[in-house]
Structure 1
Amino acid sequence: MDLAQLSDRILTGDRRALARAITLVESSRADHREQARELLERLRGSGREAIRIGLSGTPGVGKSTFTEAFGMMLLGQGLRVAVLAVDPSSARSGGSILGDKTRMDRLSREKDAFIRPSPSQSQLGGVARRSREAVALCEAAGFDVVIIETVGVGQSETVVAEMSDLFVLLLAPAGGDELQGVKRGIMEIADLILINKADGDLKATATRTCADYAGALRLLRKRPQDPQGFPKAMMVSALAGTGLTEAWDEMQALIGWRREAGWWERRRAEQARYWFDQEVRNALLSQLETGTARAALDRLGQAVAEGRVTPGAAAREMLETLSGQHTAV
């Protein structure tokens, strides 16, 4: 693979080159990982920066419908939009449907839009393992807004906040009450809560739900990275297209305040440090997949199962094996 040519094509906004590059960074092959690192290093100095929006919500709340309607609205304002949609993988077969592109048929036909579904595989936190690198590739390709649409499994999806500038939580009408709104975890990292499906017979219910969550947000401890009035709850309808422009205006207002206050750069620096730590941890975990390590795990695991050694002592011996300091017992 000619990485110089691939990086040049990405910098010109070539969507096919971008898709090929994301396939490369998602590969687990050792030679592909090395090529991916070299490619990202080549693109690191592009100086391009997109607005990264993390989008989460429970299944059935309308994330794909919202993403398409929101993306079309952004295109209408002359912006280029990339969508990285993470699809849940089967715990049995490991497969994923990857059907988000089919759901966003209008957006997928636009020349200034790019949609990439990726399998979550065994990664926790609602994102794929290499989503962060895919975001960096989309930025280098010149996209103005990158939307990371998570798996949507509930309140544990917090990893996406470590790769986005704004975290948007999409909720359905009658999705909870005041107590649900003050639950920790995902509520504490949300910058904007959007009550979707605020149309037709559900509009009145959506109004009550929005009021519940707005009240709940006022009970949460104020975060230093927020101006007055944030985080806030709003109503939108992806189907009717209402509230989308207002939501984007609020996002821009929050981004502008954070830039002026210095939080934007500080947060991106913290995220870079976080992903450095994760890369080191993943590299250490990958050592367990070698033949020697697997044999040691099987041997020690059997000894623990038979009661010949305690789990703690076996774990210490395993670590000594990995560090090359193993002494036979």
Structure 2
Amino acid sequence: MDGQGRGHGRFIRHRRAIGQCSGGGAVAARGGSGWTSARGPVHVSGRQEMAGGGTGRDMNITELSERITRGDRRALSRGITLVESSRDDHRAQAAELLDLLRGSGREALRIGLSGTPGVGKSTFIEGFGMYLLDQGKSVAVLAVDPSSARSGGSILGDKTRMERLSRAKGAFIRPSPSQSQLGGVARRSREAVALCEAAGFDVVLIETVGVGQSETMVAEMADLFLLLLAPAGGDELQGVKRGIMEIADLILVNKADGDLKSTAMRTCADYAGALRLLRKRAQDPEGFPKAMTVSALELAGFSEAWGEMCALTQWRRETGHFAARRAEQARYWFGEEVRHALLAQLQNGPARQDMAELAEAVAAGDMAVSAAAREMLSRLGR
């Protein structure tokens, strides 16, 4: 895109910066494998072969970080597997890896995407990703699939649904299980985004499993939040509710093609009217957030939507909102990490036994729930 698309007032000049709205560089070719250990061997097996390669091979976190910054796709995949692991030794290695990559100085445009089931999120991401590749951008897609509450398993079928994009040079697709995390975003998705940034991708797309109030979590790891909706969504306007609408930067009404095109235009107008009723946000210029129509099937509306994303991003960079938002997100995830660590203590050692003991007392009617909770907190404080 040449950035000279239709503008609105003072945002015409921002469209000229479309080519600069995301940082990072081109992704290098895949590097080799094989690891040597400066800290001693780390043996892994089965599904958790992690960053060290195959079973029984050693891992050097420093070398892994260097390979990731060189754009080695295999190293990036292993790094993401490492940060997604819940094992204590892997968590320590993941922290070391993230600390090494923190100084890479690369910055991608992080775009969160959510939408109602069946709205065509995967089709949109594939078409939009191919459009970005045509503009000379490199694209990473972190797709979160819902996990079974019974078995914990996930289909992880996004690479199958995005067949063209998964084979395209300059694109990287990584499906991850949600692991029952609220918001349809895997707990470690934020760390996976940091790895993709360090690998030099220009744009990182974060797809969530569906739409709902808990989906707002994706906004805490994205620079822009897109809400994808279907035509004839009058009932959806009520179902989406205010929480998800308030965090959306762009509402994209998909399937604006064929017989549904006129319906999509009316739906877009409905959402545009609803957005005008929301309270003005400090991080938005005049006219944002806004609703637009796209067609993932006909690849229509992508250039206009990308132009609006770049105009908004450029304005936020110039006004300081972009950096301030990332700093706010870092504080949020620090608090989340501490909370998760405290909750993990309840599942280990003496605390687990105390929990079981007090739970039995509550179940038997010997203690009130609130009294048992206070007792548990007092034992933790000892």
**TM score, norm. by length of structure 2:** 0.83
What is residue 295 of structure 1 aligned with on the other side? 353
**Alignment counterpart, residue 233 of structure 2, candidates 175, 185, 188:** 175
Matched, 1:223 2:313: no
Matched-pair contact (CA < 8 Å) for 1:55–1:147: yes
C-alpha displacement at 1:177, in angstroms?
Answer: 5.5
* Deviates most, 299-308 or 31-40: 299-308
Q: CA deviation at 1:298?
A: 1.3
Q: Which amino acid aligns with 2:318?
A: E
State the percentage of identical aligned residues. 78
Q: Residues 190-238 of structure 1: CA distance to partner in whole angstroms, max 9, x if unpaired? A: 0000000000011111011001000111111111110111000000000
2:207 alignment partner, one of 137, 149, 173? 149
In the aligned structure 1, how far is the partner of 2:248 from the partner of 2:336? 22
1:253 — aligned with what? 311
Verify: 1:204 aligned to 2:262, yes or no: yes
- Give yes or no for the alignment of 1:22 onto 2:71: no
Structure 2 CA distance for aligned equivalents of residues 146 and 268 of structure 1 = 15
CA distance in 1, matches of 2:206, 2:127: 15
Alignment-derived partner of residue 136 in structure 1: 194
Shift of 1:182: 8.4
Q: Which amino acid aligns with 1:232?
A: K
- Tell me whether 1:244 sits opposite 2:302 in the alignment: yes
1:260 Cα deviation after fit: 0.8
Q: Which residue of structure 2 aligns with residue 99 of structure 1?
A: 157
- Paired residue total: 324
Coordinate RMSD, CA, aligned:
1.2
Equivalent position of 1:127 in the other structure:
185
Report what 1:276 is aligned to: 334
Partners of 1:153 and 1:213 in 2: how far apart? 16
Q: CA deviation at 1:142?
A: 0.2
1:305 shift after superposition: 1.5
Task: Name 1:77's counterpart in structure 2.
Answer: 135
Retained in 1: the 8 A contact 2:183–2:212? no
User: Counterpart of 1:148 in 2: which secondary structure?
Assistant: strand
Alpha-carbon distance in structure 2 between the residues aligned to 1:243 and 1:202: 15
Pick which of 154-163 and 33-42 moved more. 154-163
Aligned equivalent of 1:36: 94
Q: Does the 8 A contact of 1:48 with 1:139 survive in 2?
A: yes
Match of 1:184 in 2: 242
The equivalent residue for 1:113 is 171
The 10-residue stretch of structure 1 (157-166 or 307-316) with the greater mean CA deviation from structure 2:
307-316
Partner AA of 1:61 in structure 2: V
Summarize the Cα distance change of 1:60–1:30 in structure 2 as closer, same or farther, 3 Å threshold.
same
One-letter amino acid matched to 1:196 = N
CA deviation string 1:80-125 (max 9, x = no partner): 0000000000111111000011100100111210000000012101
Question: Distance in 1 between the 2:207 and 2:240 partners?
Answer: 23
CA distance in 2, matches of 1:62, 1:170: 8
Q: 1:61 & 1:291 partners in 2: Cα distance?
A: 46
2:69 — aligned with what?
A: 11
Q: Report the CA distance between 1:178 and its aligned residue.
A: 9.2
Indicate conservation of the 8 Å contact 2:211/2:240, yes or no.
no
Matched AA of 2:138: R
Query: Which segments of 5 or more consecutive residues in structure 1 lack a partner in the other structure?
Result: none
Q: Which amino acid aligns with 2:246?
A: E
For 1:280 and 1:154, the matched residues in 2 are separated by 25
- Residues 157-172 of structure 1 correspond to what in structure 2 (within 5 A)? 157-172=215-230
CA separation of 1:157/1:182 partners in 2, compared to 1, >3 Å: closer, same or farther? Answer: closer
Distance in 1, Cα, partners of 2:242 & 2:325: 21
Shift of 1:181: 8.4
**Counterpart AA for 1:134:** A
Letter in 2 for 1:316: R
Contact 1:178 1:215 in 2 (8 A): no
- Normalized against structure 1, the TM-score is what? 0.96
Following TM superposition, by how much is the alpha carbon of 1:321 offset from its aligned partner in structure 2, in angstroms? 2.1
Q: Contact conserved, 1:177 with 1:213, CA < 8 A, in 2? A: no
Which amino acid counterpart does residue 283 of structure 2 have in structure 1? Q
Which of 304-313 and 64-73 deviates more? 304-313
Q: Distance in 1 between matches of 2:157 and 2:183?
A: 20
Change (3 A) 1:126 1:97: same
Deviation of 1:59 (Å): 1.1
Cα displacement string for residues 136-168 of structure 1 (whole angstroms, at most 9, x for unaligned residues): 000000000000000114343000000000000
Asked if the contact 2:351/2:380 (under 8 Å) is kept, the reply is yes
Deviates most, 309-318 or 62-71: 309-318
In the alignment, structure 2 segments of 5+ residues that lack a partner are: 1-58
